[in-house]
Structure 1
């Protein structure tokens, strides 16, 4: 099992939910926008929890460093969490302009973040973690809940 395949697939699933929420908000379908946004937020936050509680510590233990890529990713996770809160507020207020503006910022942040993880961090994880450890790690991440 490759960490990069598993985690990249999760990125794509979250991207799809994000796009559905944005489309609904743009159309003024606030019930659907809220539903899809909550799915996006929950799946994204669950993905972050998998990384922060399982993947990053395993990588840091193997490399002996908590500085560098995992530190940057944690910082960016906090930025995303802040935008999630602002976007939820915009949905609650049914403020289309605010939501779409925040969605644009979120999309840019997530694209850059995901690219760094997919092209650098996940590839590094696949290189430094032995196959049996990667399999066990994926099993642990599958069980992570919010």
Structure 2
């Protein structure tokens, strides 16, 4: 059997896994800039160019990310909550992570809007930390979903519910 890069064979989980892989690829592009800031590789002028590029990449990343998280919040989490509840436990935890990710990205975008020409290199390095934190939370979040939430889909949901969930989630997260 050829390795497709997917861990799961269940179609609904393949959809989510594919979205995670796409989002991780996109994140790796902008996270490289974050890492270069952390390593102190930029002069102030280079940093301004890099910060503007980072902002542009994160803005492009937001729509696919939001489309992915909204599908989970609208379909996946409520279906699992019927069986495991949502006032505590893994479903609530991953939902809260969505808010944490939004907060880090929102904070980064808020502080990088408008004219950046007055930013010192230290200010740039400081604001880029929010993008780095968003990256870390997203990576941990995906691991949790794939190791806790995905097995719940297999073990808790009936085959008909898995099929219904596939029908609901099988949509593109890319901007139109």
Global fold match (TM > 0.5): yes
Find the partner of 1:123 among 130, 143, 151: 151
TM-score by length of 2: 0.69
In the other structure, the counterpart of 1:54 is: 75
Return the offset for 1:132. 2.9
* CA–CA distance in structure 2, aligned partners of residues 106 and 120 of structure 1: 20
Structure 2 unaligned spans of 5+: 1-9, 37-45, 117-122
In the other structure, the counterpart of 2:17 is: 8
Structure 1 unaligned spans of 5+: none
In the other structure, the counterpart of 2:91 is: 70
Change (3 A) 1:144 1:2: closer
In the other structure, the counterpart of 1:109 is: 137
Change (3 A) 1:92 1:136: same
* CA–CA distance in structure 1, aligned partners of residues 170 and 56 of structure 2: 23
Return the offset for 1:133. 2.1
* CA–CA distance in structure 2, aligned partners of residues 91 and 135 of structure 1: 43
| SS of aligned partner of 1:92 | coil
Return the offset for 1:89. 2.7
Return the offset for 1:51. 0.9
Q: Which structure's residues are more often helix, by fraction?
A: 1
TM-score by length of 1: 0.81
Return the offset for 1:30. 5.3
Report if aligned partners of 2:71, 2:169 keep a CA contact under 8 Å in 1.
yes
